[in-house]
């Protein structure tokens, strides 16, 4: 039995009222996409692939604001991001191409611009963000596994570190605006 092939530049599936609910096609740059629309015509989910091999899924709310994304970059890194009701990315988690975990910390114009590695050795870290999307507290493990809590100022600069040193002795360190330790107690 011979299989039939249907070819087109774009496909649309419509509901009984004639509203487009599903669209499969190519962007102006010839990248394939798959979009699902709600009854009002707003794109609620979109999957696409770029020419360099990156692929991603974006999920939007009823107001058209992207609230969640999952993606795979051409360098092999993967990410999962969550946005607030204004479409600003508030949390982003990822796995770098070398399998080291990452977390985004800086938001500019609603987009994550400067993701930071959690730790060079790939140890787990948790960041707490303020209402502007800036990380203010980082809790994690240092290079040799010792627990550390870092407090950051409004500019995202580390100002206080509390934790255990590599020999398991507790320490507290204050850091000034020029990123220099001003006082350390062990």
Q: Where are the domains of the chain?
A: 1-110, 118-186
Least confident of 32-36, 135-139, 148-152, 176-180: 135-139
Architecture of the domain defined by 118-186: Alpha-Beta Complex (3.90)
3-state secondary structure of 101: strand
Query: Does 1-110 match 118-186 in CATH topology?
Result: yes
CATH architecture of 1-110: Alpha-Beta Complex (3.90)
User: Quick one: pLDDT band at residue 97, thresholds 50, 70, 90?
Assistant: low
Record the tokens describing residue 140, joined without a space. Answer: 């994690």
Q: Is the pLDDT of residue 107 over 50?
A: no
* Position 167 pLDDT exceeds 90: no
Q: At residue 6, does pLDDT exceed 50?
A: yes
- Give the chain's mean pLDDT: 81
Beta carbons within 8 Å of 141's beta carbon, 6+ residues apart? 119, 123, 124, 125, 147, 148
Structure tokens at 172: 């507290």
80 or 14, greater pLDDT: 14
The Cα angle at residue 140 between residues 77 and 179, in degrees rounded to 5 = 95
Instruction: Examine the pLDDT at 22 and tell me if it is beyond 70.
Output: yes
State yes or no: pLDDT of 61 exceeds 60.
yes
Region 34-62: mean pLDDT is: 92
């Amino acid at each position: 039995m011979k299989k039939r092939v249907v070819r087109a530049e774009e496909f649309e599936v419509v509901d009984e009222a004639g509203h487009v609910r599903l669209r499969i096609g190519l962007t102006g740059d010839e990248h394939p996409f798959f979009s699902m629309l709600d009854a009002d015509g707003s794109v609620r989910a979109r999957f696409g692939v770029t020419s360099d091999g990156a692929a991603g899924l974006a999920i939007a709310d009823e107001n058209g604001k992207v609230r969640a994304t999952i993606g795979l970059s051409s360098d092999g890194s993967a990410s999962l991001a969550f946005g607030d009701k204004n479409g600003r990315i508030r949390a982003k988690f990822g796995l770098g191409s070398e399998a080291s975990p990452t977390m985004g910390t800086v938001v500019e114009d609603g987009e994550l611009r400067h993701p930071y590695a959690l730790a060079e050795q790939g140890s787990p870290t948790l960041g707490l963000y303020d209402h502007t999307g800036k990380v203010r507290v980082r809790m994690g493990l240092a290079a040799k596994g010792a627990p550390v809590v870092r407090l950051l100022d409004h500019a995202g600069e580390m100002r206080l570190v509390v934790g255990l040193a590599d020999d398991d002795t507790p320490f507290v360190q204050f850091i000034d605006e020029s990123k220099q330790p001003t006082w350390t107690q062990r």
